Structure 1
Amino acid sequence: MAVLASPFAVPAAVAQAAATPAPAAAPVSTLVKAVDIPFTQFTLKNGLRVIVHTDRKAPVVAVSVWYDVGSKHEPKGKTGFAHLFEHLMFNGSENAPGDFFEPLEQVGATDLNGTTSFDRTNYFETVPTAALDRALFLESDRMGYLTGAITQNTLDVQRGVVQNEKRQGDNQPYGLRRYKLTEGLFPADHPYGHTTIGSMADLDKASLADVKEWFRSHYGPNNAVLVLAGDIDVATARPLVEKYFGAIPAGPKSVTPPAPVPASLPGPASEVMKDRVAATMITKAWAVPGLNDRDAAPLDVAAGVLGGLASSRLDNALVKQDKLATQVSASYQNLAQVGMFVITAIVRPGVDPATVSQRIDAIVADFVKNGPTADEVSRYVTGSVVDRIGGLESVGGFGGKAVALAEGALYSNDPAHYRKELADLAAQTPASVRAAAARWLTRPAYQLSIVPGARDAYAEAQATPAKEVPAEAPAPAVKGTRGPIPGVAQVADLSFPAVERTRLSNGIEVVYARRTAVPMTQAVMSFDAGVAADVADKLGTQALVLAMLDEGTATRNSIQLAEDKERLGAEIGAGSSADRSTVSLRVPSANLAAGAQLWADIVRNPAFPDSELARVKNQQLTQIAQELTSPNGLAQRVLPTLVSPGSPYAKMRGSGDPRAVAALTRADLVAFRDAWLRPDKAKIFVTSDLPLATVRQTLEAQFGDWRATGAGGTKSFPATIASASPRIVLIDRPDSPQSLIQGAMQTGLKGTDDLLPVQIANEALGGSFLGRINMDLREEKHWTYGANGNFSRNAFAAPYVLSAPVQADKTGPALAAMKQDVAAYLTTQPMTAAEFERSINSATRSLSGEFETSGDVLTAMQANDLYRRPDDYYATVAARYRALTLPQATGALKSAIDPAKLVWVVVGDAAKVKPQLDSLGLPVEVMPASAVAGGQAASAAPAAAPAAK
């Protein structure tokens, strides 16, 4: 293990365990060889750069278009334009008017989205191979034929959506930090000196002429990179790209603004702001070079060693040794022209923030002086390479192979730049990392402290509400100059991998599927426990047990465990759902034997040392306090008690009862472990490129002799669960620019029932972007960034849950609209044949994309087991979808949902919101946020529930 120089030594309290030899790990060079994305590229006459990568593991193609335009290109007075335009480009083009989600959902597109950053805007979707023509038509039409489809109505609606996206971010604890950090590091006139979301004032000022000119200036083919990755080759791709993009004329090329690289602060800067938060957050930040600089790799390693590893310098010292902070991290954000090196700490309540700030400074100074150890560098590099390997199993999405190729092309003029990044990482030494840290972390830093208190006034809170948009506006006519949107050939059904089962000699069942796309093994030890097994009068016990599993075993302390994991590139983590508690492993298959040894040590031999228990309890208590300042955290502590009274699922209230957690002892944790985390309640789910025989042999060596002792725990579910009587519980959270609305009711269904009919029927109501609830509140009224309704599927219940964060002045009307949308869908305006067809098409055609990765398959295997479905369920589900009829779907949904029985929780500023709710015909109970800690206030106790049907 790394030996840290005094005064940053391993705390004595966690150094008592006898050291054990670190498991042997495959060298980083072996892991790096596994990272390869072969590609071919060509450029059209209009300047469009095209990159093609072939991956035949699934019949899908990732389509990714990256434009060289981001917030750094925005001039003064036009902040937020790039992001606003990202939204506009989803609202139809001249030859494909209407929402782009409609034709793409029809073909089963997955990973369908768009994002904007400081440096670029991208649009991406993964489609069945048979739908590639359609995807290329749509992407090319919005590249070359968009302006005629942008109307004032479209602009006004999307402006409102973006402003609610902004409010949603602002409404979170520490939600204003992003503005302060950007403004503190860079001058106002610096290209990176404002956030991507922009200002309310600039968004309000955006005119139709402005946005059309913005498009003409930045979205030409010569300012873009198109990546096709997946079931495609260059011989097929080239004529298709020529066909759809070749006629688009070149436009201006975005000129990257000159930027000081990086901006230099004249001296140390410090600010303090108040917010309604539970604990002080300290952020220290430096402006540093970007991704193409020689110091990018060493700064990445420096951030990892300081605060990115589980055994990081800052975590060991501030959290584990001195117990000054409950959480600490360091990161290096490598933008195209600049970078940001950021250290963040959540101060332990009761600790002087100045002490934490000084300690961080001392640790950074020691690091600059002495640098990291070779072992620290190796551990961080190993983990980074393994993360890249895992991410590259996906062809598209937010982090797959298309992303790696596009980033390299756009930012570094080299699609294979990922190779250079990995080579640079692998070449780092303690000396190179120390030298980069000395060059940049000795420069002036910006410090922001966010302290508890009433939120400081800020300009955006005073922004005028978005203008009303006419309820109906004529859609632009299809120009038809390019012909109709291409149809879709027959989409191949999913080829779900064969699932095999075996048992270890002690009876633990192993459920296995082979996946060979990447040399990785993923495994989950799943226990029949979950939040439903939490101790009724000691809520939070299960969460604390899981948090303590890797805080020390019989032979390793927490730091030794963390270091051994990092040497292997292994991730071992605990988690839970309503019905299951899990301990998972992800490791390069070359390191499976050693990784399984560590995994077994954590699962079988947790020591729950008293020396660590007080610290981890304090972290959990701080997490609970943070939940009580968050809109979602508040709602999720109250809603379960109203939706599932008398059921074990009512225990699903955040991280626990703070009074109970504070009183928990080591004996409580041992008792829960003995009752629930035991071999007779366990199953192991595995995906791997290794054969089952090899995997079983490895698992047998680590778990085969594990025997249960004593009696196991039991869970008792009532025959029926009925929600509380309809009401609105208003949780008062002052100064909230948005209100979070959640409504729910029990349906009488269980997760083990066949929910396919109700899920299909719900797709057009609340289950997708095109669902009526989202289209009403977001795309028509623009009161929210997103609204949905879905079945919350647990083994013994499947309540229906609605959710929408809405601007505060529209809280009452939004709740009424959601209720009306549901009522109309179930009565006068039922699901149409077209909506049903779209839902079936999307469900069947998206299957190959939904199960592209090993993680997807692993999740499906666990779901099939939990819901008592056959292992080949997904191999046969397409036929089940096609056999479903519209009357069957609508009838099932109508039987399950009654909008009159919904119980509502609203989190918002009661002074502004309650008058809006009083007229809705339901009793309104106001609860101060301070009363939510135990899950519900006395005034909000559920009334006697009506008998279930």
Structure 2
Amino acid sequence: MRLAIPALLLASALSPLSAATPPAKPAPLSVLADQVKLPYEQFTLANGLRVVVSTDRKAPVVGVSVWYHVGSKDEPAGKTGFAHLFEHLMFNGSENAPGDFFKPLESVGATDYNGTTSFDRTNYFETVPTQALPLALFLESDRMGHLLGAVGQETLDRQRGVVQNEKRQDDNQPYGLVQYAEQQTLFPEGHPYHHTTIGSMADLDKASLADVREWFRGHYGPNNAVLVLSGDIDAATAKPLVKKYFGDIARGPQPVPTAASVPTLPARKDETIHDQVATTRLYRQWAVPGLLDADSVPLDIAASVLGGLASSRLDNILVRKERLAVSVSANVEPLERVGEFEVQVDVRPGVDPRLVGQRLDAIIADFIATGPTADEIQRAVTQEIAGRIFSMEKVGGFSGRAALLAQGAVYANDPGFYEKQLKEYAKETPASVQAAMQKWLTRPVYALTVSPGARAPYEEAKAGQEADKPIAGTKEVAASGAAPATGPKREAPPVGDISALTYPAITRTKLSNGVTLVYAQRTGLPLTRLAVTFDGGFSADPKDALGTATLMLSLLDEGTTTRSSAQIASEQEHLGSRIAAGGSMDRAEIDLAVLTPNLAPGLDLLADVTLNPTFADLPRVKAEQLAGIQSEMSDPEGLASRTLPGLIYGPSYPYGVPSSGSGDPAAVAKLTKADLVAFKDKWLRPSDTSIFIVSDQPLSAIQPMLESRFGAWKATGPAGTKATGATVATPKPRIVLLDRPGSPQSVIQAGEVLDAKGSDELLPLVVANDALGGSFLSRLNMDIRETKAWSYGVQAGISRYAGRVPYLVAAPVQTDKTGPSIQAMLGDIKAFLTTQPLTDAERERTVERSIRQLPGSFETGNELLDAMQRNDLLKRPDDYYTHIADKYRALTTAELNATARREIDPARFVWVVVGDAAKVKPQLDTLGLPVEVVKAPAAQ
């Protein structure tokens, strides 16, 4: 989330800092760097599979990560998108594990399970309870060594359709077509990085079963893979298990690494493309060296100093000082053979983009000529180290410990590459960073401008537009007959009793002024997270001033009585910390994530932004929020989410507002400093504030620190109230079609307001809905995505507000299947509530998965902090999750079906569709619901 009267402000938020000891100083960089330690052991099987094992006993779970050294850069001409398409195929069953791979993973309580494809690698990962590790290894080995016999034409056609809808979904976003211009310009025709990972529609259309077999045999052998196990496992235990499941897989051909040099443009290239965007965006891009090159680290530091840090050069000059931009960024994407250095600037509405472009080029040129300061480098490196430490909270997942080790093993042949890389960060100097910039960023630049306007015609898939019938339904067969099975039949291993959740003890106490402290200890890493949470949120906005909460929260860290906005940003970077203020529908919070050695100065900063904001930067931050609203209205999903709440709740209920909290642009434009001070005084008050804490330090050490900083804080004026007794509207069921010409996909959202409140025990509804729309294996997703291939994904479920909760459906679908998708979803929901109710098997699947997932559900401090806050908001006991397994087991199929029938009624749904009305409305007119066409806001 995002975000006149000095004497009154000081009176309402008197700071205790003046009476405290002098501010503590940040810990030395060397002390922080010493915290980044990740011990591991490794071994290699006879077939070439490299295995890395890292032990972490904090929870009874193991992160499993398999990285294949193949990505889109390895695709031959005319076969773009193959690596990513194959990632999808490898989730659709193997010879000895038929059907969707998510089913056995969900059944054992896996968390963080997915797969991704990049230019350089394809990976699959899951975090499983320790007792389920043999099953996870069986599944990963079966798709590595026993896949082709289970891949037939139906599977290929179905997943081709899913991938093409994933492409449409990404392309449909504002600026979604930029990636194609970038790759095709920075890298010449024939260069391995010339095309995007998602590929072209035409090449995906042409993919044949023979192509698929050839691609698999050439790239997915054990000798082209790395397996990392991280968590409740050791090498002595892992070695026989890995050998048992992977040892019989034959080596594949030895892939020849795809070579790629760093190209240089012959001359600067300026280009303008048009898109349905609200804000003109400027890009400056260069191809630079890859991850292993000596210049990769100094270039990354340069990007941080230029536009990556909150106190970056571009932020301080273009956003804070000259106010020519509403947001800026700079980063390096370090790929294996090359990298991409990119700068982005979103031009402030009303400012000439050509002027901003000239100023941007001048700032970059000056930065290259003068170089960074030692202080800027220190801040950038501190943030890098802090980010690595926070990422190590997870044993698996997309970016946890397993991924960190796998990246080094695959690209550098060294799992400990990350540690060597951090040492390089710590050694960089102003001179070395400047030298790297002068070598690589003085070459010709690609200067791209994306301006509001009509898009160019979209490259559509032939198969997607010509298919009149759904693809045949999924069938769980051991082999499709399209290719011979490889090897003897293998049996999946049994899974033992999964360890029960050990939820930490929660302690409550109060500061002297009534602020509640809610604390849990989490040892292992030197990390502390706090959330200063208070009543308010988006539902507290006055109806004639929607967006007040977000604007007030956004300004908290934009200047205090003792610190400027830039100083606050700089201090956070010195500490390796992050302060973020944001809101939800019912609450608002100010978060601090900090390395524990820097907790004291981090709390100084947290107290200052909480208690002493000046709102001095109101004009700038207001302009940024207004630009954000315009961007939200140019995003099809954002536009649907702004529209639906008001339709189902009505104008008087507190929840009938845009779910993002960004507000009404006309109201935001009128807000004054006095409005924000008054709002803050009404809602941010000691008696209604709780500070949630997860730390490796004991409460006895933290409470005095909080008392010295927050204990003298006193409230001013009356508290705010919400219109929770307002009447919820009874809307007319209909379809509201927001016309967005040229959209390659339709975004569908639908909903109704239930009688239930979030503070009710809604576990029966959540469990019942899991089978309908709450999980990947739900009926809605399996029908629209996996059977019909009309969408990249469909979801349905409740938003857990404290008051009356909404039931919502979300489905981005291909344009020519918009009407049929709504018809199919209505049919699925009605059948679930009548003729095809929840089955015992579905109830068992959901209950067992939910219980088995518990040990891996609170792995990070953030996950635990969120659970503590959720329990508090919904008036549940602090030990709610300690007893939730028993609540799951007590649920019966009959009770779940009765709950679903009582709460969900598709006849009351209001549907919002954002798409091309010329193509979509004729489909909607056949559904028997009134259709209202509204022109979507035009890009400005």
Shorter chain as denominator, the TM-score bin is over 0.9
Partner secondary structure for residue 930 of structure 1: coil
Local SS of the residue matching 1:237? helix
Per the TM alignment, residue 723 of structure 1 is displaced from its structure 2 partner at its CA by 4.3
Task: String of CA shifts for 1:283-328, please: whole Å, max 9, x gaps.
Answer: 1101111111111111111000000111100111111111111111
Residue 650 of structure 1: aligned partner:
656
1:579 corresponds to which of 565, 575, 586: 586
Structure 2 contact 63–230 (Cα < 8 Å) conserved? yes
What amino acid does structure 2 have at the position aligned with 1:200?
A: M
Give the Å deviation of 1:437: 0.8
Cα shift at 1:569: 0.9
Q: How does 1:908-947 map to 2 (within 5 A)?
A: 908-930=915-937
Task: Identify the residue that residue 46 of structure 1 maps to in structure 2.
Answer: 47
CA–CA distance in structure 1, aligned partners of residues 388 and 615 of structure 2:
33
What is aligned with 2:210? 209
Distance in 1, Cα, partners of 2:217 & 2:631: 45
Counterpart of 1:227? 228
1:376 aligns with 2:376: yes
Alignment deviations for residues 336-377 of structure 1 (CA, whole Å, 9 cap, x no partner): 111110000111122121111111111111111111111111
CA contact (8 A) 2:276 2:939 kept: no
Kindly indicate whether the alpha-carbon contact (under 8 Å) linking 1:91 and 1:97 is maintained by their aligned counterparts in 2: yes
In 1, are the aligned partners of 2:67 and 2:226 still within 8 Å (CA)? yes
Question: Partners in 2 of 1:361 and 1:930 — Cα distance?
Answer: 32
2:541 is aligned, of 516, 531, 534, to 534
Distance 1:718 1:802 in 2: 26
Q: For residues 454-853 of structure 1, what are the structure 2 equivalents within 5 Å?
A: 454-460=454-460, 465=465, 467=467, 468-472=469-473, 474-477=475-478, 481-609=488-616, 612-645=617-650, 646-654=652-660, 655-718=662-725, 721-853=728-860
Distance 1:851 1:888 in 2: 28
1:544 counterpart SS class: helix
Quick one: distance in 1 between partners of 2:373 and 2:24?
Answer: 19
CA distance in 1, matches of 2:589, 2:740: 34
User: Taking structure 1 as reference, are residues 644 and 249 closer, same or farther at Cα in structure 2, changes over 3 Å only?
Assistant: same
Amino acid at match of 2:404: A
Distance verdict in 2 for CA 1:878–1:211, change over 3 Å:
same
The residue number in structure 2 matching 1:14 is none
Partners of 1:462 and 1:882 in 2: CA distance: 49
TM-fit CA distance, 1:891: 1.1
How far off is 1:678 after superposition?
2.1
Aligned counterparts of 1:272 and 1:512: Cα–Cα separation in 2: 53
Greater Cα offset, 874-883 or 299-308: 874-883
In 2: Cα distance, 1:618 partner to 1:359 partner? 20
Question: 1:637: how far off?
Answer: 1.4
Change beyond 3 A, Cα 1:557–1:159: same
Q: How far apart, in 1, do the equivalents of 2:178 and 2:23 lie?
A: 40
Distance 1:491 1:701 in 2: 44
Cα distance in 1 between the residues matched to 2:794 and 2:656? 24
Residue 383 of structure 1, CA deviation: 0.9
**How far apart are the structure 2 equivalents of 1:709 and 1:606?**
15
Structure 1 SS opposite 2:113:
strand
Contact 1:528 1:682 in 2 (8 A): yes
Percent identity reads: 59
Q: Match for 2:115: what amino acid?
A: G
AA aligned to 1:651 is: V
Name the SS for the 1:507 alignment partner. coil
1:201 touches 1:463 (CA, 8 Å); kept in 2? no
Q: Say if 2:205 and 2:461, in contact at 8 Å, map to a contact too.
A: no
Distance 1:464 1:823 in 2: 27
Give the Å deviation of 1:653: 4.7
Other structure's SS at 1:92 match? coil
> Quick check: 2:112–2:127 contact (8 Å CA) kept in 1?
yes
Q: Distance in 2 between matches of 1:197 and 1:137?
A: 29
* Alignment: residue pair count: 912
What residue ranges of structure 1 are gaps of 5+ in the alignment? 1-17, 934-949
Name the residue aligned to 2:120.
119
User: Distance between the aligned counterparts of 1:306 and 1:669, measured in 2?
Assistant: 32
Cα shift readout 1:24-81 (whole Å, capped 9, x = no counterpart): 1001111111111111100000000000011100000011000000000001000000
- Counterpart of 1:617, as a letter, is K
Alignment check: 8 A CA contact 2:746 2:814 kept: yes
Change over 3 Å in CA distance of 1:709–1:383 after alignment to 2: same
Aligned to 1:192: 193
In the TM superposition, what is the alpha-carbon distance from 1:651 to its structure 2 partner?
2.2
Partner letter of residue 156 of structure 1? D
Which residue of the other structure, out of 859, 869, 873, is the alignment partner of 1:866? 873
Is the 2:99–2:475 Cα contact (8 Å) retained in structure 1? no
Residue 314 of structure 1 is matched in structure 2 by: 314
**Greater relative contact order: 1 or 2 (C-alpha under 8 angstroms, separation 6 or more)?**
2
Deviation by residue 1:508-532 (Cα, 9 ceiling, x = unmatched): 0000000012101000000111000
Contact 1:530 1:581 in 2 (8 A): yes
Give the TM-score of the pair, scaled to structure 2.
Answer: 0.95
Range with bigger deviation, 859-868 or 561-570: 561-570
CA distance in 2, matches of 1:635, 1:459: 24
- Structure 1: which amino acid aligns with 2:656? A
1:580, 1:474 → 2: CA distance? 46
Corresponding residue SS for 1:165: helix
Which stretch shifts more, 763-772 or 712-721?
Answer: 712-721
CA distances 1:808-834 after superposition (whole Å, capped 9, x unpaired): 000000011111111101110111111
2:93 & 2:877 partners in 1: Cα distance?
41
Q: What is residue 80 of structure 1 aligned with on the other side?
A: 81
Q: Please name the residue that 2:6 is paired with.
A: none
Moved more, 484-493 or 470-479: 470-479
Q: Deviations over 1:100-148 (max 9, x none)?
A: 0111100000001000000000000000011111111000000000001
1:544-591 deviation per Cα after TM superposition (whole angstroms, max 9, x unaligned): 111111111001111111111111111000111100011000111111
Q: Secondary structure at the match of 1:510?
A: strand
Distance (Å, rounded) in 2 between the aligned partners of 1:49 and 1:797: 53
For the residue of structure 2 that corresponds to 1:749, the secondary structure is strand
**Cα shift at 1:21:** 8.9
Whether 2:271 is the aligned partner of 1:264: answer no
> 2 CA distance for matches of 1:791 and 1:335?
39
3-state secondary structure, aligned to 1:597: helix
* Corresponding letter in the other structure for 1:647: Y
Structure 1 residue 905: deviation in Å? 0.6
TM-score, length-normalised on structure 1? 0.95
Deviation of the 1:466 alpha carbon = 6.3
Question: What SS is found at the alignment partner of 1:649?
Answer: coil
- Indicate conservation of the 8 Å contact 2:634/2:938, yes or no: no
Specify the SS of the correspondent of 2:754: coil
Compute the displacement of 1:254 (Å): 2.3
- The CA distance in 1 between the partners of 2:641 and 2:75, in whole Å, is 39
What is the CA–CA distance in structure 2 between the aligned matches of 1:466 and 1:509, rounded to whole Å?
61
CA distance in 2, matches of 1:719, 1:930: 30
Structure 2 contact 576–595 (Cα < 8 Å) conserved: yes
- Contact conserved, 1:571 with 1:587, CA < 8 A, in 2? yes
1:356 aligns with 2:356: yes
Partner of 2:406: 406
Shift of 1:476: 3.1
Secondary structure (helix, strand or coil) at the match of 1:925 reads strand
Contact 1:95–1:481 (Cα < 8 Å) also in 2 = no
Aligned partner of 1:342 in structure 2 is: 342
- How far apart, CA to CA, are the structure 2 residues paired with 1:547 and 1:672? 13
